[in-house]
């Protein structure tokens, strides 16, 4: 009986120690998406999008395992139009532009989790819902497509308290090329667009 109680107590102590070492956390981040010009393909031509820099938002729920963190992240990346050219001609387009909402599974490695300042790197894999919306003299696109997405992460965090952490990082995000239909005055044309770019953000994380 005593051995059974001792074994149960030891097992509980090991479980409790593991639970302490594997902290749950929730985080939120806001930042700026630096947008590069996007080149797409048309049947028999090209399409070029010049986008404005836009805001980026994300939220994540994760768990720590020593130096590793694993999290599920949702994010929104904007990108309004500045200019649009089709076959080298500015068509004076207006609209919401090209944006993406994503759901990612991230793996992040903390180099010095026991220190107050902690640099980290990570990568993520998931899906993105890429939305294209514009209209101009050369035609219009209004559609949403789902594509596989990846991201690379590098940043540094600072522990404000035992449970609160502030962090900043640079992320490169890329979704697979998505296909749309350009509706033009003389008919419809298949169109492919590539969504990618960098975000620089700052956020807060809370352990529980």
What are the extents of the domains in the chain?
A: 23-207
Q: What is the pLDDT of residues 117-162, one digit of tens each?
A: 999 999 999 999 999 887 776 677 888 999 999 999 999 999 999 9
Q: What is the spatial distance between Cα 181 and Cα 140, in angstroms, rounded to a whole number?
A: 8
Kindly tell me if the per-residue pLDDT of 20 is higher than 50: no
Burial of 192 (0-12, 13-18, 19+ CB in 10 A): middle
Backbone angles phi, psi at 111, to 5 degrees: -75, -35
Backbone angles phi, psi at 137, to 5 degrees: -65, -30
Query: Looking at residues 191-197, what average pLDDT do you find?
Result: 85
Kindly tell me if the per-residue pLDDT of 168 is higher than 50: yes
0.85 surpassed by pTM: no
Predicted confidence band of residue 22 (pLDDT cuts 50, 70, 90) = low
pLDDT the model gives residue 43: 65
Predicted confidence band of residue 205 (pLDDT cuts 50, 70, 90) = very high
Q: What is the residue whose two structure tokens read 């979704």?
A: 175
- Mention every residue, 6+ apart, whose C-beta is less than 8 A from residue 118: 110, 111, 112, 156, 157, 158, 159
Contact at 8 Å (CB) between 127 and 143?
no
**Cα separation of the two ends of the chain:** 36
Kindly tell me if the per-residue pLDDT of 178 is higher than 60: yes
CATH 2.40.160.20 fits 23-207, yes or no: yes
Q: What is the spatial distance between Cα 41 and Cα 180, in angstroms, rounded to a whole number?
A: 10
Q: What is the pLDDT of residues 39-54, one digit of tens each?
A: 676 666 777 777 788 8
Q: What is the pLDDT of residues 65-89, one digit of tens each?
A: 999 999 999 999 987 777 777 777 7
Q: What is the spatial distance between Cα 57 and Cα 31, in angstroms, rounded to a whole number?
A: 7
Handedness of CA 204, 123, 153, 80 (dihedral sign): negative
């Amino acid at each position: 009986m005593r051995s059974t109680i001792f074994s149960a107590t030891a097992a509980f102590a090991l479980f409790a120690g593991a639970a302490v070492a594997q902290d749950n956390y929730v985080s939120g981040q806001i930042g700026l998406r630096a947008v590069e010009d996007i080149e797409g393909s048309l049947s028999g031509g090209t399409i070029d999008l010049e986008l404005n820099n836009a805001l980026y938002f994300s939220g994540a729920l994760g768990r720590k395992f020593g130096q590793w963190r694993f999290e599920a992240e949702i994010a929104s990346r904007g990108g309004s139009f500045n200019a649009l050219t089709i076959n080298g001609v500015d068509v004076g387009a207006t609209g919401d532009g090209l944006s993406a909402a994503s759901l990612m599974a991230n793996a992040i490695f903390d180099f010095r989790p026991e220190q107050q300042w902690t640099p980290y790197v990570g990568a993520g894999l998931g899906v993105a819902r890429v939305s294209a919306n514009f209209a101009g003299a050369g035609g219009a696109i209004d559609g949403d497509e789902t594509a596989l997405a990846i991201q690379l992460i590098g940043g540094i965090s600072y522990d404000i308290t035992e449970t609160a952490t502030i962090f900043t990082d640079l992320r490169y995000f890329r979704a697979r090329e998505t296909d749309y239909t350009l509706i033009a005055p003389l008919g419809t044309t298949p169109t492919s667009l590539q969504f990618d770019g960098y975000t620089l953000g700052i956020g807060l994380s809370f352990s529980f």
